[in-house]
Amino acid sequence: MTDTVERKALTGEQLLSAYRAMRTIREFEERVHAEFATGDIPGFVHLYAGEEASAVGVCSNLDDRDTIASTHRGHGHCIARGVDVGEMMAEIYGRSTGSCHGKGGSMHIADLSKGMLGANGIVGGGPPLICGTALAAKIKGTGGVSVAFFGDGGSNQGTTLESMNLASVWNLPAIFVAENNGYAETTSSTWSVASDNIADRAAGFGMPGVILDGFDFFAVHEAASEAIARARDGGGPTLIEMKFTRYFGHFEGDQQTYRADEVARARAELDCLKRFADRTVQTGELAQADLDAVDAEVAALIDQAVDSAKAAPLPTEADLLTDVYLRY
Amino acid sequence: MARNITYREALNEALAQEMERDETVIVMGEDNAGGAGSPGEQDAWGGVLGVTKGLYHMFPGRVLDTPISESAFIGAAIGAATAGLRPVAELMFVDFMGVCFDQIYNQAAKFRYMFGGKAVTPVVIRTMYGAGLRAAAQHSQCLYPLFTHIPGLKVVLPATPYDAKGLLIQAIRDDDPVIFFEHKALYDLTGPVPEESYALPFGEANVVREGGDVTIVTLGRMVHTSLSAAEELARGGVQCEVIDLRTTSPLDEDTVLESVEGTGRLVVVDEAHPRCNIATDISALVARKAFGALRAPIEMVAAPHTPVPFSSALEDIYIPDAQRVVNAVKTVTGWSR
């Protein structure tokens, strides 16, 4: 793809903010992993650790006009969009103080006031919805852009393929982000995706396709910036494929017998946080002390979130029947 | 002022008046204008049903044709509803719900509850249902029981032009997701409809005929079948009270129960298949809450547990007719221990 947008350097503040978001996701997920093992967290939990550069690289280009739809692996997208971490943790613990008052859980965390249309328990559930929010932005002339995140598994759903076609036919300000972490549950994307790359399908839907190293925040930020600017200007949708690895199993409890040693290698050599820190400190854009301060601040934030969640009240029986309808 | 117009025209008028009143109302569906990308007329069809005809030119940019991608555009209507629009999407035949049902029952229906009350999804999905046009197994089903089963959805089935207009206006103004069922055999039905805008509330059944001997609870096209039966029975001295439910979710339990308290006899007439349909639901309601009033076992008239057949020789006996309703009423009036 040709570089049509002049690359703008990120300010120190923007860099620190991106680092903070990625570190918050990592710390959140590592902690949920540890707490899940104690048996205190109910239900199904799918962790995003390893994929932070995708959520933050894309969402750091978005503003109040914009909407995203996420997946069952949605914590990272929520944090990147600014959803309150304390409320998220409380939701994962099923507490009434949670983002969804304990009625959604890990797979359904949403905050429409933050342009976050929900994690989604249905693979391929988000892309059609994002066509709608993009259509609303187009009709109302807000300049808003909508982003659908989906995995390599979701890339094979008809909903996703239909939505890419519709987005092109209607020329919508929509971005399709395929997070190819290598596995749909246990099934390798090298087996389930018939083309060499998910992004190769973009041509079939009349939109640009971009393939990225999903561990590289700067590559993601730049490609997303270009695609989002084009969408805002009426240039239509883009399909962006991230290639990377998730650090944990499909869900917590997954023994991951289908995997070799790729996680250890990724953590050692490819990790998005490590590379971000190395680069920004090396260029002098950020100081190691700034990053250390963020690390400490985030660790305290997550401690606080877990402590508060554990202490928070559970929903009561009266909550069972509320919020089915506005009026019935 | 009321004039006689068709069910189709009443629906069109409801859409036009709401689009005029509220610029967030948009319409989308396959061929809803018709002719997109073609060299000929735009607004060529106004929907395969003709319900949206003329809106394309009246409301530029707000009547959208779609590819044949029900998952994508029904989902888009739902997504747009969360973002401040009031979309009216047309699912051409309800039989096509199979290719987009996830967006309806896992997404639209659940947003409000599973997001802790933070989502508002004012979407209307209009859809055509029912047998009688020799459209065979994949274009003739009722299927409203499936939607009625889902918490978070409202389900509406107008039987007359007057109800079609008033209930569609209410559906568009309603803040919850509404599935709006239009019977394909009713589009040309004519009846009095006021020119001015009006909304009919959901959850209020309509007593379309009063009578003290037997309660007939019905909906949709079967309202007319039941009224024919009631007329014939009246000639023999049996007075039926005919109740049109109008909406199956919410359900007006009170009107049904009050009527049965008075008559002591119930016949439920439903074009849907007989298992887990509206007739079984109403029967269970009355058996639980008005058991003491019943003077005879409840009778149900429904389609058989088969796909809808094609041949007129078969379809005509598939669809419940007035004679079957008459027979059911005679069974409950003639019953003795």
Q: What does the alpha-carbon distance between residue A185 and residue B306 come to, in Å, rounded to a whole number?
A: 39
| Amino acid at site A220 | V
Percent of chain B predicted with pLDDT > 90: 96
**Nearest Cβ partner for B116 among A67, A99, A117:** A99
Find the residue in B nearest to A135 (Cα): B80
Q: Which domains does chain A have, with CATH numbers?
A: 12-312 (3.40.50.970)
Residue A118 pLDDT more than 50?
Answer: yes
Q: Tell me the ipTM for this assembly.
A: 0.93
Model-wide pTM > 0.80: yes
Tens digits of per-residue pLDDT, B132-152? 999 999 999 999 999 999 999
pLDDT at A181: 96
Residue with tokens 């049902």: B101
* Range in A198-212, B43-57, B151-165 with the lowest mean pLDDT: B43-57
- In angstroms, what separates the C-alpha of A115 from chain B's closest C-alpha? 9
**Average of per-residue pLDDT values in chain B:** 97
**Nearest Cβ partner for B106 among A101, A122, A140:** A122
**Nearest Cβ partner for A125 among B62, B85, B107:** B107
Nearest to A47 by CA among A20, A68, A71, A23: A71
Mutate to test the interface with B, among A112, A325, A326, A328 (most CBs of B within 10 A): A325
Sheet containing strand B299-302, edge to edge, reads B206-209, B240-244, B214-218, B266-270, B299-302
Find the residue in B nearest to A137 (Cα): B83
How many interface pairs between A and B have CB atoms less than 8 angstroms apart? 156
Copy the structure tokens of residue B198.
């009006």
Residue A2 pLDDT more than 50?
Answer: no
pLDDT at A315: 97
Mutate to test the interface with A, among B100, B111, B115 (most CBs of A within 10 A): B115
Q: Which domains does chain B have, with CATH numbers?
A: 2-194 (3.40.50.970), 206-333 (3.40.50.920)
Residue B237 pLDDT more than 80?
Answer: yes
Q: What does the alpha-carbon distance between residue B93 and residue B90 come to, in Å, rounded to a whole number?
A: 9
B305 as an active site residue: the answer is no
Does the beta-carbon distance from A163 to B118 stay under 8 Å? no
Tens digits of per-residue pLDDT, B252-288? 999 999 999 999 999 999 999 999 999 999 999 999 9
Tens digits of per-residue pLDDT, B63-82? 999 999 999 999 999 999 99
**Nearest Cβ partner for A130 among B79, B112, B154:** B79
Catalytic one among B57, B139, B149, B305? B139
Tens digits of per-residue pLDDT, B119-134? 999 999 999 999 999 9
Residue B328 pLDDT more than 60?
Answer: yes
Does the beta-carbon distance from B116 to A104 stay under 8 Å? yes
Q: What does the alpha-carbon distance between residue B60 and residue B79 come to, in Å, rounded to a whole number?
A: 21
Q: What does the alpha-carbon distance between residue B272 and residue B141 come to, in Å, rounded to a whole number?
A: 7
- In angstroms, what separates the C-alpha of B126 from chain A's closest C-alpha? 17
Does the beta-carbon distance from A128 to B72 stay under 8 Å? yes
**Nearest Cβ partner for B176 among A100, A111, A326:** A326
**Average of per-residue pLDDT values in chain A:** 96
Does the beta-carbon distance from A132 to B87 stay under 8 Å? yes
Residue with tokens 């985030």: A298
- What is the mean pLDDT of the segment spanning B220-245? 98
Give the residue numbers in B contacting A (CB under 8 Å), as ranges: 26, 61-62, 64, 66-67, 69, 71-85, 87, 102-103, 106-107, 111-120, 151-152, 154, 174-176, 203, 250
Q: What does the alpha-carbon distance between residue B213 and residue B331 come to, in Å, rounded to a whole number?
A: 12
CB-CB contact of A19 with A277 (8 Å): yes
